[in-house]
Structure 1
Amino acid sequence: MENQGILLYIGIALVVLLILWYIWTVNNLIAKRNRVKQCRSGICVALKQRNDMIPNLVAVVKSYMGHENETLLRITELRSRTFQPSQESEQIRTGAELSSLLSRLQLSVEDYPELKANEQFHRLQTSIEDMELQLQAIRRTYNAAVTDYNNFIEMFPSSIVARQQNHHQEELIDIPEAEQRNVDVSELLKRV
Protein backbone atom coordinates (compact mmCIF):
# COMPACT_ATOMS: atom_id res chain seq x y z
CA MET A 1 0.00 0.00 0.00
CA GLU A 2 2.78 2.36 0.92
CA ASN A 3 4.67 1.48 -2.30
CA GLN A 4 1.60 2.36 -4.36
CA GLY A 5 1.44 5.79 -2.70
CA ILE A 6 5.11 6.44 -3.53
CA LEU A 7 4.57 5.30 -7.11
CA LEU A 8 1.55 7.58 -7.36
CA TYR A 9 3.58 10.57 -6.13
CA ILE A 10 6.40 9.73 -8.55
CA GLY A 11 3.86 9.45 -11.37
CA ILE A 12 2.28 12.79 -10.47
CA ALA A 13 5.73 14.41 -10.20
CA LEU A 14 6.68 13.06 -13.65
CA VAL A 15 3.44 14.36 -15.20
CA VAL A 16 3.97 17.78 -13.58
CA LEU A 17 7.59 17.88 -14.85
CA LEU A 18 6.44 16.87 -18.32
CA ILE A 19 3.78 19.62 -18.33
CA LEU A 20 6.32 22.21 -17.11
CA TRP A 21 8.83 21.09 -19.75
CA TYR A 22 6.12 21.35 -22.45
CA ILE A 23 5.17 24.88 -21.36
CA TRP A 24 8.84 25.92 -21.22
CA THR A 25 9.46 24.50 -24.72
CA VAL A 26 6.40 26.22 -26.23
CA ASN A 27 7.42 29.54 -24.68
CA ASN A 28 11.00 29.10 -25.88
CA LEU A 29 9.82 28.37 -29.42
CA ILE A 30 7.64 31.50 -29.38
CA ALA A 31 10.51 33.64 -28.07
CA LYS A 32 12.92 32.32 -30.72
CA ARG A 33 10.38 32.81 -33.53
CA ASN A 34 9.70 36.36 -32.35
CA ARG A 35 13.45 37.07 -32.26
CA VAL A 36 13.69 35.99 -35.91
CA LYS A 37 10.75 38.27 -36.79
CA GLN A 38 12.35 41.15 -34.89
CA CYS A 39 15.65 40.70 -36.76
CA ARG A 40 13.86 40.47 -40.12
CA SER A 41 11.98 43.66 -39.29
CA GLY A 42 15.27 45.31 -38.31
CA ILE A 43 16.66 44.53 -41.75
CA CYS A 44 13.58 46.05 -43.40
CA VAL A 45 13.87 49.19 -41.26
CA ALA A 46 17.56 49.61 -42.12
CA LEU A 47 16.80 49.05 -45.82
CA LYS A 48 14.11 51.73 -45.64
CA GLN A 49 16.51 54.19 -44.01
CA ARG A 50 19.15 53.50 -46.64
CA ASN A 51 16.59 53.74 -49.45
CA ASP A 52 15.49 57.13 -48.16
CA MET A 53 19.08 58.39 -48.65
CA ILE A 54 19.54 56.95 -52.13
CA PRO A 55 17.55 59.58 -54.13
CA ASN A 56 19.80 62.31 -52.73
CA LEU A 57 22.92 60.34 -53.61
CA VAL A 58 21.65 59.59 -57.11
CA ALA A 59 20.78 63.27 -57.68
CA VAL A 60 24.28 64.40 -56.68
CA VAL A 61 25.98 61.69 -58.74
CA LYS A 62 23.79 62.34 -61.81
CA SER A 63 25.00 65.90 -62.00
CA TYR A 64 28.56 64.60 -62.47
CA MET A 65 28.10 61.26 -64.23
CA GLY A 66 25.78 61.78 -67.17
CA HIS A 67 27.01 58.84 -69.25
CA GLU A 68 27.05 56.19 -66.51
CA ASN A 69 23.30 56.02 -66.09
CA GLU A 70 22.98 52.21 -66.23
CA THR A 71 24.01 51.69 -62.61
CA LEU A 72 22.00 54.71 -61.46
CA LEU A 73 18.88 53.50 -63.30
CA ARG A 74 19.20 50.02 -61.76
CA ILE A 75 19.65 51.53 -58.28
CA THR A 76 16.54 53.68 -58.79
CA GLU A 77 14.55 50.69 -60.07
CA LEU A 78 15.54 48.49 -57.11
CA ARG A 79 14.82 51.28 -54.66
CA SER A 80 11.31 51.72 -56.06
CA ARG A 81 10.71 47.95 -55.89
CA THR A 82 11.51 47.88 -52.18
CA PHE A 83 8.62 50.26 -51.52
CA GLN A 84 6.11 48.02 -53.26
CA PRO A 85 4.14 45.72 -50.98
CA SER A 86 6.00 42.43 -51.06
CA GLN A 87 7.24 39.78 -48.73
CA GLU A 88 10.04 40.69 -46.37
CA SER A 89 12.25 38.01 -47.93
CA GLU A 90 11.91 39.71 -51.35
CA GLN A 91 12.76 43.08 -49.78
CA ILE A 92 15.84 41.52 -48.18
CA ARG A 93 16.95 40.01 -51.54
CA THR A 94 16.41 43.34 -53.31
CA GLY A 95 18.36 45.07 -50.55
CA ALA A 96 21.31 42.72 -51.06
CA GLU A 97 21.37 43.46 -54.79
CA LEU A 98 21.14 47.17 -54.05
CA SER A 99 24.13 46.86 -51.71
CA SER A 100 26.24 45.37 -54.50
CA LEU A 101 25.19 48.12 -56.92
CA LEU A 102 26.10 50.80 -54.41
CA SER A 103 29.59 49.35 -54.10
CA ARG A 104 29.85 49.30 -57.92
CA LEU A 105 28.76 52.94 -57.95
CA GLN A 106 31.56 53.69 -55.49
CA LEU A 107 34.06 52.28 -58.01
CA SER A 108 32.58 54.44 -60.80
CA VAL A 109 32.87 57.52 -58.61
CA GLU A 110 36.64 57.02 -58.43
CA ASP A 111 36.83 58.39 -62.00
CA TYR A 112 35.33 61.73 -60.91
CA PRO A 113 37.64 63.59 -58.53
CA GLU A 114 35.39 66.68 -58.49
CA LEU A 115 32.48 64.48 -57.34
CA LYS A 116 34.60 62.89 -54.62
CA ALA A 117 35.40 66.41 -53.40
CA ASN A 118 31.71 67.39 -53.24
CA GLU A 119 30.80 67.81 -49.55
CA GLN A 120 27.16 66.77 -49.97
CA PHE A 121 28.20 63.63 -51.85
CA HIS A 122 30.79 62.82 -49.21
CA ARG A 123 28.21 63.13 -46.39
CA LEU A 124 25.68 60.96 -48.25
CA GLN A 125 28.34 58.40 -49.12
CA THR A 126 29.47 58.19 -45.49
CA SER A 127 25.86 57.83 -44.29
CA ILE A 128 25.16 55.04 -46.77
CA GLU A 129 28.42 53.28 -45.90
CA ASP A 130 27.44 53.44 -42.21
CA MET A 131 24.02 52.04 -43.09
CA GLU A 132 25.66 49.22 -45.06
CA LEU A 133 27.74 48.32 -42.01
CA GLN A 134 24.60 48.32 -39.87
CA LEU A 135 22.85 46.11 -42.43
CA GLN A 136 25.74 43.65 -42.34
CA ALA A 137 25.52 43.47 -38.56
CA ILE A 138 21.74 43.06 -38.62
CA ARG A 139 22.01 40.32 -41.26
CA ARG A 140 24.53 38.45 -39.11
CA THR A 141 22.23 38.82 -36.09
CA TYR A 142 19.29 37.58 -38.16
CA ASN A 143 21.22 34.53 -39.36
CA ALA A 144 22.27 33.74 -35.77
CA ALA A 145 18.64 34.02 -34.57
CA VAL A 146 17.43 31.82 -37.45
CA THR A 147 20.10 29.20 -36.72
CA ASP A 148 19.15 29.15 -33.04
CA TYR A 149 15.44 28.84 -33.89
CA ASN A 150 16.03 26.16 -36.54
CA ASN A 151 18.24 24.15 -34.17
CA PHE A 152 15.56 24.24 -31.50
CA ILE A 153 12.95 23.07 -34.02
CA GLU A 154 15.11 20.20 -35.25
CA MET A 155 16.61 18.91 -31.99
CA PHE A 156 14.97 16.21 -29.96
CA PRO A 157 12.86 16.44 -27.78
CA SER A 158 11.83 20.03 -28.62
CA SER A 159 11.22 18.93 -32.22
CA ILE A 160 8.15 17.04 -31.00
CA VAL A 161 6.60 20.19 -29.56
CA ALA A 162 7.68 22.28 -32.57
CA ARG A 163 5.99 19.88 -34.97
CA GLN A 164 2.83 19.86 -32.85
CA GLN A 165 2.81 23.68 -32.60
CA ASN A 166 3.35 23.92 -36.38
CA HIS A 167 6.73 25.70 -36.27
CA HIS A 168 8.67 25.69 -39.54
CA GLN A 169 12.26 26.40 -40.33
CA GLU A 170 13.24 29.90 -41.42
CA GLU A 171 15.61 30.66 -44.30
CA LEU A 172 19.05 32.13 -43.74
CA ILE A 173 20.08 35.14 -45.78
CA ASP A 174 22.18 33.88 -48.64
CA ILE A 175 24.64 35.97 -50.57
CA PRO A 176 24.01 35.72 -54.33
CA GLU A 177 26.62 33.76 -56.25
CA ALA A 178 27.66 36.85 -58.23
CA GLU A 179 28.68 38.58 -55.00
CA GLN A 180 30.65 35.56 -53.76
CA ARG A 181 33.13 35.64 -56.64
CA ASN A 182 36.62 36.94 -56.05
CA VAL A 183 37.23 40.54 -57.02
CA ASP A 184 39.53 40.95 -60.04
CA VAL A 185 41.86 43.61 -58.66
CA SER A 186 43.71 44.02 -61.95
CA GLU A 187 40.42 44.96 -63.63
CA LEU A 188 39.70 47.50 -60.92
CA LEU A 189 43.17 49.02 -61.29
CA LYS A 190 42.63 49.52 -65.03
CA ARG A 191 39.82 51.95 -64.22
CA VAL A 192 42.01 54.17 -62.08
Structure 2
Amino acid sequence: MGYLSGEFMRTMSVLIILGLVVAAVVVWAVGLYNQLVKKKNHVEDGWSGIDVQLKRRYDLIPNLVKVVQQYAQHEEQTLKKVIQLRNQAKQADNPSQQIQQEQKLSQALSGLMVQVEAYPDLKANTNFLDLQQQLQQIETDIQYARRYYNGAVREYNTLVQSFPSNIIAQKYDFREAEYFEIEDPVHAENPDIAFD
Protein backbone atom coordinates (compact mmCIF):
# COMPACT_ATOMS: atom_id res chain seq x y z
CA MET A 1 0.00 0.00 0.00
CA GLY A 2 2.85 2.36 0.82
CA TYR A 3 4.44 1.65 -2.54
CA LEU A 4 1.19 2.54 -4.38
CA SER A 5 0.83 5.66 -2.37
CA GLY A 6 4.39 6.78 -3.23
CA GLU A 7 3.93 5.96 -6.91
CA PHE A 8 0.61 7.80 -6.93
CA MET A 9 2.25 10.87 -5.38
CA ARG A 10 5.05 10.88 -7.97
CA THR A 11 2.54 10.55 -10.81
CA MET A 12 0.45 13.35 -9.36
CA SER A 13 3.55 15.54 -9.00
CA VAL A 14 4.51 14.92 -12.62
CA LEU A 15 0.96 15.68 -13.77
CA ILE A 16 0.86 18.88 -11.71
CA ILE A 17 4.21 20.02 -13.12
CA LEU A 18 3.09 19.11 -16.63
CA GLY A 19 -0.18 20.98 -16.06
CA LEU A 20 1.71 24.05 -14.84
CA VAL A 21 3.99 23.96 -17.90
CA VAL A 22 0.99 23.68 -20.23
CA ALA A 23 -0.76 26.52 -18.38
CA ALA A 24 2.38 28.68 -18.64
CA VAL A 25 2.62 28.03 -22.39
CA VAL A 26 -1.06 28.89 -22.85
CA VAL A 27 -0.69 32.11 -20.83
CA TRP A 28 2.41 33.01 -22.85
CA ALA A 29 0.62 32.34 -26.18
CA VAL A 30 -2.43 34.36 -25.11
CA GLY A 31 -0.15 37.21 -24.07
CA LEU A 32 1.60 37.23 -27.46
CA TYR A 33 -1.73 37.04 -29.28
CA ASN A 34 -3.07 39.99 -27.28
CA GLN A 35 0.10 41.95 -27.97
CA LEU A 36 -0.29 41.31 -31.72
CA VAL A 37 -3.92 42.47 -31.56
CA LYS A 38 -2.89 45.61 -29.67
CA LYS A 39 -0.16 46.48 -32.18
CA LYS A 40 -2.48 45.78 -35.12
CA ASN A 41 -5.03 48.13 -33.58
CA HIS A 42 -2.35 50.83 -33.28
CA VAL A 43 -1.65 50.42 -37.01
CA GLU A 44 -5.36 50.75 -37.81
CA ASP A 45 -5.61 53.78 -35.53
CA GLY A 46 -2.62 55.33 -37.29
CA TRP A 47 -4.20 54.74 -40.68
CA SER A 48 -7.45 56.34 -39.54
CA GLY A 49 -5.46 59.45 -38.57
CA ILE A 50 -3.98 59.58 -42.07
CA ASP A 51 -7.41 58.96 -43.56
CA VAL A 52 -8.89 61.97 -41.71
CA GLN A 53 -6.15 64.25 -43.06
CA LEU A 54 -6.49 62.87 -46.58
CA LYS A 55 -10.25 63.52 -46.51
CA ARG A 56 -9.56 67.10 -45.46
CA ARG A 57 -7.25 67.42 -48.46
CA TYR A 58 -9.82 65.81 -50.78
CA ASP A 59 -12.39 68.37 -49.64
CA LEU A 60 -9.98 71.26 -50.22
CA ILE A 61 -8.79 70.27 -53.70
CA PRO A 62 -12.00 71.16 -55.64
CA ASN A 63 -12.01 74.65 -54.10
CA LEU A 64 -8.35 75.10 -54.95
CA VAL A 65 -8.93 73.93 -58.52
CA LYS A 66 -11.90 76.33 -58.92
CA VAL A 67 -9.84 79.32 -57.85
CA VAL A 68 -6.91 78.34 -60.07
CA GLN A 69 -9.26 77.78 -63.04
CA GLN A 70 -10.43 81.39 -62.83
CA TYR A 71 -6.91 82.64 -63.45
CA ALA A 72 -5.11 79.86 -65.28
CA GLN A 73 -7.16 78.63 -68.21
CA HIS A 74 -3.98 77.30 -69.86
CA GLU A 75 -3.54 74.79 -67.05
CA GLU A 76 -6.78 72.92 -67.80
CA GLN A 77 -5.00 69.58 -68.40
CA THR A 78 -3.11 69.81 -65.10
CA LEU A 79 -6.29 70.70 -63.21
CA LYS A 80 -8.16 67.76 -64.72
CA LYS A 81 -5.30 65.44 -63.76
CA VAL A 82 -5.36 66.70 -60.15
CA ILE A 83 -9.12 66.11 -59.90
CA GLN A 84 -8.82 62.68 -61.53
CA LEU A 85 -6.05 61.62 -59.13
CA ARG A 86 -8.02 62.99 -56.18
CA ASN A 87 -11.03 60.88 -57.18
CA GLN A 88 -8.89 57.77 -57.66
CA ALA A 89 -7.24 58.22 -54.26
CA LYS A 90 -10.60 58.83 -52.60
CA GLN A 91 -12.01 55.59 -54.08
CA ALA A 92 -9.05 53.37 -53.15
CA ASP A 93 -10.17 50.09 -51.59
CA ASN A 94 -7.31 49.50 -49.18
CA PRO A 95 -4.36 51.33 -47.61
CA SER A 96 -1.86 49.84 -50.06
CA GLN A 97 -3.82 51.09 -53.06
CA GLN A 98 -4.47 54.44 -51.40
CA ILE A 99 -0.77 54.91 -50.65
CA GLN A 100 0.04 54.50 -54.35
CA GLN A 101 -2.68 56.94 -55.38
CA GLU A 102 -1.62 59.46 -52.73
CA GLN A 103 1.92 59.47 -54.05
CA LYS A 104 0.62 60.37 -57.52
CA LEU A 105 -1.74 63.01 -56.11
CA SER A 106 1.04 64.63 -54.06
CA GLN A 107 3.22 64.85 -57.15
CA ALA A 108 0.38 66.38 -59.19
CA LEU A 109 -0.37 68.95 -56.47
CA SER A 110 3.30 69.89 -56.32
CA GLY A 111 3.32 70.31 -60.09
CA LEU A 112 0.20 72.45 -59.97
CA MET A 113 1.72 74.74 -57.35
CA VAL A 114 4.84 75.15 -59.47
CA GLN A 115 2.72 76.10 -62.50
CA VAL A 116 0.79 78.65 -60.46
CA GLU A 117 4.01 80.66 -60.18
CA ALA A 118 3.32 81.99 -63.69
CA TYR A 119 0.12 83.76 -62.53
CA PRO A 120 0.87 86.77 -60.30
CA ASP A 121 -2.81 87.76 -60.02
CA LEU A 122 -3.66 84.31 -58.71
CA LYS A 123 -0.85 84.42 -56.18
CA ALA A 124 -2.31 87.68 -54.83
CA ASN A 125 -5.90 86.37 -54.63
CA THR A 126 -7.01 86.16 -50.99
CA ASN A 127 -9.12 83.03 -51.57
CA PHE A 128 -6.15 81.30 -53.15
CA LEU A 129 -3.83 82.42 -50.34
CA ASP A 130 -6.28 81.08 -47.76
CA LEU A 131 -6.60 77.76 -49.61
CA GLN A 132 -2.83 77.60 -50.00
CA GLN A 133 -2.38 78.11 -46.26
CA GLN A 134 -4.98 75.42 -45.50
CA LEU A 135 -3.27 73.02 -47.90
CA GLN A 136 0.09 73.68 -46.26
CA GLN A 137 -1.39 72.89 -42.83
CA ILE A 138 -3.06 69.73 -44.13
CA GLU A 139 0.19 68.55 -45.73
CA THR A 140 1.96 69.09 -42.40
CA ASP A 141 -0.78 67.17 -40.59
CA ILE A 142 -0.51 64.34 -43.13
CA GLN A 143 3.23 64.19 -42.49
CA TYR A 144 2.69 63.91 -38.71
CA ALA A 145 -0.04 61.27 -39.17
CA ARG A 146 2.23 59.36 -41.54
CA ARG A 147 5.04 59.35 -38.97
CA TYR A 148 2.71 57.98 -36.28
CA TYR A 149 1.34 55.35 -38.66
CA ASN A 150 4.80 54.25 -39.82
CA GLY A 151 5.95 53.98 -36.19
CA ALA A 152 2.96 51.78 -35.38
CA VAL A 153 3.66 49.68 -38.49
CA ARG A 154 7.31 49.28 -37.46
CA GLU A 155 6.37 48.01 -33.98
CA TYR A 156 3.69 45.69 -35.33
CA ASN A 157 5.89 44.29 -38.12
CA THR A 158 8.71 43.69 -35.64
CA LEU A 159 6.36 41.63 -33.51
CA VAL A 160 5.01 39.74 -36.53
CA GLN A 161 8.54 38.94 -37.74
CA SER A 162 10.24 38.20 -34.39
CA PHE A 163 10.59 34.79 -32.82
CA PRO A 164 8.60 33.45 -30.97
CA SER A 165 5.70 35.83 -31.67
CA ASN A 166 5.95 35.03 -35.38
CA ILE A 167 4.63 31.54 -34.57
CA ILE A 168 1.42 33.03 -33.14
CA ALA A 169 1.29 35.59 -35.96
CA GLN A 170 1.44 32.86 -38.61
CA LYS A 171 -1.07 30.64 -36.85
CA TYR A 172 -3.65 33.44 -36.55
CA ASP A 173 -2.91 35.13 -39.90
CA PHE A 174 -1.39 38.38 -38.66
CA ARG A 175 0.22 39.82 -41.79
CA GLU A 176 2.82 42.54 -42.05
CA ALA A 177 1.45 46.03 -42.62
CA GLU A 178 2.71 48.32 -45.37
CA TYR A 179 4.54 51.55 -44.62
CA PHE A 180 3.20 54.81 -46.02
CA GLU A 181 6.36 55.93 -47.79
CA ILE A 182 6.98 58.50 -50.46
CA GLU A 183 8.95 56.70 -53.17
CA ASP A 184 10.39 59.68 -55.01
CA PRO A 185 12.93 61.42 -52.74
CA VAL A 186 12.04 64.75 -54.35
CA HIS A 187 8.56 64.40 -52.87
CA ALA A 188 9.66 63.09 -49.49
CA GLU A 189 9.23 66.57 -48.08
CA ASN A 190 5.98 68.50 -48.08
CA PRO A 191 5.20 70.13 -51.41
CA ASP A 192 6.64 73.62 -51.55
CA ILE A 193 3.47 75.68 -51.84
CA ALA A 194 4.66 79.00 -50.45
CA PHE A 195 4.88 81.89 -52.89
CA ASP A 196 6.57 84.54 -50.77
Moved more, 9-18 or 65-74: 9-18
Question: 2:31 aligns to what?
Answer: 24
Give aligned pairs, total.
180
Secondary structure of 1:78's partner?
Answer: helix
CA RMSD of aligned residues (A): 2.1
SS at match of 1:32: helix
Work out which of the residue numbers 177, 180, 185 in structure 2 matches 1:180.
Answer: 185
Cα deviation 1:21-75 (Å, max 9, x = unaligned): 1111111111111221222232222211101111100000111111122321110
Contact 1:78 1:94 in 2 (8 A): yes
How many Å separate the matches in 2 of 1:134 and 1:147?
A: 20
Measured in 1, the distance between the counterparts of 2:124 and 2:19 equals: 76
Match of 1:121 in 2: 128
Deviation at 1:82, TM superposition (A): 2.7
Query: Percent identity between the aligned chains?
Result: 38
SS in 1 for 2:180: coil
Q: Which amino acid aligns with 1:127?
A: Q
Aligned residue among 106, 115, 129 for 1:99 = 106
Structure 1 runs of 4+ off > 3 angstroms? 1-13
User: Structure 2, unaligned stretches of length 5 or more?
Assistant: 1-5, 188-196
Establish whether residue 136 from structure 1 lines up as the match of residue 143 from structure 2: yes
- Bigger mean CA deviation after superposition, 99-108 or 73-82: 99-108
Cα displacement string for residues 7-34 of structure 1 (whole angstroms, at most 9, x for unaligned residues): 5554433322222111111111111112
Residue pairs, 1:27-66, within 5 angstroms: 27-66=34-73
Larger radius of gyration: 2
Instruction: Provide the C-alpha distance between the structure 2 equivalents of 1:83 and 1:173, rounded to a whole number of angstroms.
Output: 16
Q: Distance in 2 between matches of 1:166 and 1:77?
A: 36
TM-score (normalizing by structure 2): 0.82
Match of 1:170 among 155, 177, 184: 177
Asked if the contact 1:44/1:91 (under 8 Å) is kept, the reply is no
C-alpha separation in 1, matches of 2:98 and 2:58: 11
Letter of the 1:82 counterpart? A
Structure 2 CA distance for aligned equivalents of residues 11 and 83 of structure 1: 55
Q: Return 5+ residue gaps in structure 1 as ranges.
A: 183-192
2:116 to 109, 113, 120: 109
